[in-house]
């Protein structure tokens, strides 16, 4: 029997119940790898007939994590950003996403002057799953037609997060779903 969204959510709840920290999130990353092997799930939520936009597939009432399907008709490149006190796990389903990781080297943790150092860039292909933990700085770049499942620790609309402008050497707080908006 295929591993379903319901299985993923149940296993993720169990993982967070046992360890609501980095270890539990690492287990969730493994669960998402397993979910993306379910071709029916991928076709239903991220297939060619899926409507463009960001679609909520599940929101946990107790642990707050939210499972989203991102169906991207347009290319997009985000600035470096974090997810505040939340986190994100990305699972690529179509096309690719280039992930860039950064370290903040000025010693700061808030908005204002900020100096970032690029750490690495890698390409996520369908089936690849990556995790960005609390305050980990990253940027994403994908072409038109890219699709992925993203799990965040909570809805990001009201989560104070930092967006970085590398050229200006500054960080600013944002509170919306997209790091670009």
Distance of alpha carbon 153 from alpha carbon 74, whole angstroms: 26
- For residues 29-44, b (16+ Cβ closer than 10 Å) or e, as one string? bebbeebbebeebbee
Q: How many domains does one find in the chain? A: 1
Q: Does pLDDT of 179 surpass 90?
A: no
Q: Does pLDDT of 180 surpass 80?
A: no
- pLDDT tens digits, 45-89: 999 999 999 999 999 999 999 999 999 999 999 999 999 999 999
User: Domain range for residue 24?
Assistant: 5-101+121-154
- For 170, the 3-state DSSP assignment is strand
- pLDDT tens digits, 117-168: 999 999 999 999 999 999 999 999 999 999 999 999 999 888 899 999 999 9
Are 125 and 11 contacting, i.e. CB atoms less than 8 angstroms apart?
A: no
Identify whether 113 is part of a domain. no
Distance of alpha carbon 174 from alpha carbon 61, whole angstroms: 24
Identify whether 91 is part of a domain. yes
Q: Does pLDDT of 34 surpass 90?
A: yes
Identify whether 173 is part of a domain. no
- 176 band by pLDDT with thresholds 50, 70 and 90: low
Q: Does pLDDT of 177 surpass 80?
A: no
Classify residue 175 by burial, with Cβ atoms within 10 Å: 0-12, 13-18, 19+: exposed
Are 86 and 149 contacting, i.e. CB atoms less than 8 angstroms apart?
A: no
Q: Does pLDDT of 181 surpass 60?
A: no
Task: Supply the pTM of this predicted model.
Answer: 0.93
- pLDDT tens digits, 83-95: 999 999 999 999 9
Q: Does pLDDT of 28 surpass 90?
A: yes
CATH of the domain at 54: 2.60.120.10
In what order do the strands lie in the sheet containing 147-152?
53-59, 66-71, 147-152, 88-94, 129-132
Q: Does pLDDT of 32 surpass 90?
A: yes
Identify whether 116 is part of a domain. no
Region class of 22: left (phi > 0), else alpha (psi between -120 and 50), else beta:
alpha
What's the average model confidence in pLDDT over 30-49?
A: 98
Identify whether 70 is part of a domain. yes
Q: Which two tokens stand for residue 61?
A: 């009432």
Confidence (pLDDT) at 175: 75
What's the average model confidence in pLDDT over 18-29?
A: 98
């Amino acid at each position: 029997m295929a591993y379903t969204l319901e299985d993923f959510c149940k296993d993720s709840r169990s993982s967070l119940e046992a360890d609501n920290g980095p270890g539990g999130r690492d287990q969730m990353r493994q669960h998402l790898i397993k979910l993306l092997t379910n071709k029916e799930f991928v076709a239903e939520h991220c297939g060619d007939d899926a409507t463009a936009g960001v679609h909520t597939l599940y929101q946990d009432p107790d642990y707050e994590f939210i499972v989203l399907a991102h169906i991207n008709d347009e290319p997009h490149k985000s600035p470096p950003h974090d997810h505040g006190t939340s986190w994100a796990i990305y699972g690529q389903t179509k096309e690719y996403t280039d992930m860039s990781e950064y370290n903040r080297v000025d010693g700061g943790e808030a908005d204002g002057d900020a100096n970032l150092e690029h750490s690495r860039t890698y390409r996520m292909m369908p089936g690849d799953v990556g995790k960005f933990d609390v305050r980990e700085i990253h940027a994403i770049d994908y072409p038109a037609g890219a699709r992925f499942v993203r799990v965040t620790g909570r809805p990001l609309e009201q989560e104070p997060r930092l967006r970085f402008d590398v050229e200006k050497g500054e960080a600013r707080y944002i509170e919306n779903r997209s790091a670009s908006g």
